[in-house]
Structure 1
Amino acid sequence: MTSLQQVQELAAMGVDFAGFIFYEKSPRYVGAKLSASDIKAVTSIQKVGVFVNETVEKILQIIDNYGLDMVQLHGDETPAFCQSLKDRVTVMKVFRVKGDEDVQQLVQPYEDAVHYFLFDTKAQEYGGTGKQFDWSVLKSSSLKIPYFLSGGIGPNDADAIKTFIDEEDVFAIDINSRFERQPGDKEIDKIRHFVRQLS
């Protein structure tokens, strides 16, 4: 999110989380768009800071400055790194998958180090691809941690997601680029329609 008004609109429609990217190479980098005080003042939605291979010290500073409720670690963070944050903030570790991995083996070292997993589509660079991976890879895994489903989810995927949620223990859905006019600028009407379809 890069617009305070759009964050408030999401909160009003009952969306639970808003993501703020603190990775300077991202076109959605929030540091150039919103002030720390503006974000800290938002209390109607849980604020998630997205980081890529940042230091623990910098993450903790940003959590405090921006009033974040959760961090999403999108880089090569180790279980020990995640554990060092776990007592200070809710931690979500991202795993980028193609759809043919042994997901259980991939996540096992992190099971005691984080609160949530997030599964996204694998790409060469850090960040989203706008494409979906094969969700069935999650069905064959016995995951002990609640997870967010991400990766190329779009406005026409509500029925498929509802079917998947009925079969799997998905904690939340993470949407982004396919609901945007341009990076960071969300199409709120599309999100509202999507939320209604899921409820």
Structure 2
Amino acid sequence: MIIKVCGMRDADNIRDISALGVDMIGLIFYPPSPRYVQQFSSGAGIIPDYAPDMGKTPLRVGVFVDDMPQNIVTRVYNYKLDYIQLHGNEPRETLENLRATIDPDIKPKIKIIKAISVSSAEAIKKYKEYVGAADLFLFDTKCKTVGGSGEQFDWQVLQAYDGDVPFLLSGGIGPDDVERIKNFHHPKCIGIDLNSKFEIEPALKDVEKLKQFLVKVKK
């Protein structure tokens, strides 16, 4: 199971969370978000220098909402992003153009996640617009804000998803959801996205709370 921890900003906190063995770290480049990562040259002060003995380091995911392509390209370069996550109403052409611009000159084999806001089984059909353009989908709760709301949706509506592209489950997942996660089954669900339910404050994750959760969910 892939574990993605989104909405991070503090270098020390990123280092501590990474040491838990998570697979992905999400950096949010959306100014209205309380977890917004402001632009720093080459990611100074954000991306930690990992210790040589740390082993595998998590993949870096940049989260964008209807942003200008040049802003996205710049952040892929500055933060050495492995994934682009598009969380707005971006058309399919945006995904295709970003990939053509970035791969291979800026980041070879860049991966793209398209977030789909879920309110019903019908809403899931939105994914069809992005088949062949997205490497991964992320199903999140539809709400007034963009991500990090702490609100959940009925996961059973995801049984309506009949695509071949794998997806991450997102939306208000917290420490009390261990059994619910274990009981959820879909052949294309490959992981979960964690954020606000593991925070001390916006962009600062509770390392011990996340550690305990990971032990339980991986049993």
Q: Distance in 2 between matches of 1:151 and 1:33?
A: 29
Residue 188 of structure 2 aligns with an amino acid whose one-letter code is D
Partner deviation per Cα, 1:119-154 (whole Å, 9 max, x = no partner)? 100012322321110111111221211101000101
Partner deviation per Cα, 1:130-188 (whole Å, 9 max, x = no partner)? 111011111122121110100010101011101114x4431110010011111111111
1:161-176 alignment runs, 5 A limit: 161-165=181-185, 167-176=186-195
User: Structure 1 runs of 4+ off > 6 angstroms?
Assistant: 32-35
Residue 37 of structure 2 aligns with an amino acid whose one-letter code is V
Q: Does 1:30 align with 2:54?
A: no
Q: Does 1:129 align with 2:142?
A: no
Partner deviation per Cα, 1:52-81 (whole Å, 9 max, x = no partner)? 111111101110011111111111100110
Partner residue in 1 for 2:93: 80
Give the TM-score of the pair, scaled to structure 2.
Answer: 0.83
SS in 2 for 1:30: coil
CA drift at 1:85: 2.1
SS in 2 for 1:114: coil
Q: Distance in 2 between matches of 1:40 and 1:93?
A: 26
Partner residue in 1 for 2:213: 194
Cα distance change on mapping 1:181 and 1:34 into 2, 3 Å: farther
Q: Distance in 1 between matches of 2:40 and 2:173?
A: 25
Q: Does 1:3 align with 2:3?
A: no
Q: 1:21 aligns with which of 21, 24, 28?
A: 28
Q: Distance in 1 between matches of 2:91 and 2:35?
A: 25
SS in 2 for 1:156: helix
Partner deviation per Cα, 1:87-143 (whole Å, 9 max, x = no partner)? 53210000111134252x211110111100001000123223211101111112212
CA drift at 1:6: 1.6
Q: Does 1:70 align with 2:83?
A: yes
Give the TM-score of the pair, scaled to structure 1.
Answer: 0.91
Q: Distance in 1 between matches of 2:30 and 2:171?
A: 18
Asked if the contact 1:3–1:34 (Cα under 8 Å) also holds between the matched residues in 2, the reply is: no
CA drift at 1:31: 1.3
Q: Does 1:57 align with 2:76?
A: no
SS in 2 for 1:53: coil
Unpaired runs of at least 5, structure 2? 1-7, 51-55, 104-109
Cα distance change on mapping 1:111 and 1:35 into 2, 3 Å: same
Asked if the contact 1:40–1:65 (Cα under 8 Å) also holds between the matched residues in 2, the reply is: no
Asked if the contact 2:117–2:123 (Cα under 8 Å) also holds between the matched residues in 1, the reply is: no
Q: Distance in 2 between matches of 1:182 and 1:50?
A: 19
Asked if the contact 2:138–2:169 (Cα under 8 Å) also holds between the matched residues in 1, the reply is: yes
Identity of aligned pairs, percent? 38
Instruction: Let me know the Cα RMSD of the aligned residues.
Output: 2.0
Asked if the contact 2:15–2:48 (Cα under 8 Å) also holds between the matched residues in 1, the reply is: no
